[in-house]
Homo-oligomer: A and B are copies of this chain.
């Protein structure tokens, strides 16, 4: 199974209602690199900056996008184990978030799954406002698992 660009884009922007309601956009999707955006409109808090829960979601979703573009989706699936997010500045514009992973890193993670049945990996991400200021920094621990486990 090969996912098309349009299929991946749909999976990221409208995977389920919670994310679809936020209006997340996939700006770039390629093997080893993804960049997403969230609009301030509809995601603001009571003082008009982007709410922490929206920033969290924008920090967390790129991992799923990177999985879709970079890993063998016919053989592995990821779960999120934990996320730490630090809010550094008020997010007063639309916000973007990008992460990358080398092909070598992805191969190594998949190799560990084959050898040990699962593989933890960490992704760090910066959330940037329209002026390039880092408004939040996220660090997520994910685990890649063999697809067979889904039916267990």
> Which residues on the B side are within 8 Å of A81 (C-beta)?
86-87
Main secondary structure of the interface of A (DSSP, over half): mixed
A: residues with CB less than 8 A from B are: 11, 15-19, 21-22, 42-46, 51-54, 56-57, 60-61, 79-87
Task: Known A52-B60, A53-B57; judge A46-B15 contact (CB<8 A).
Answer: yes
With A45-B18, A46-B15, A53-B57 as contacts: A84 and B87 at CB distance below 8 Å: no
Instruction: Assess whether B56 is in contact with A42, with CB atoms less than 8 Å apart.
Output: no
With A56-B53, A56-B83, A87-B80 in contact, do A18 and B42 touch (Cβ < 8 Å)?
yes
Q: A19-B53, A79-B87 are in contact. List 8 more A-B contacts (CB 8 A).
A: A52-B60, A53-B54, A56-B56, A56-B60, A81-B86, A82-B84, A82-B85, A82-B87
Q: Which residues of B contact A11 (CB under 8 A)?
A: 46
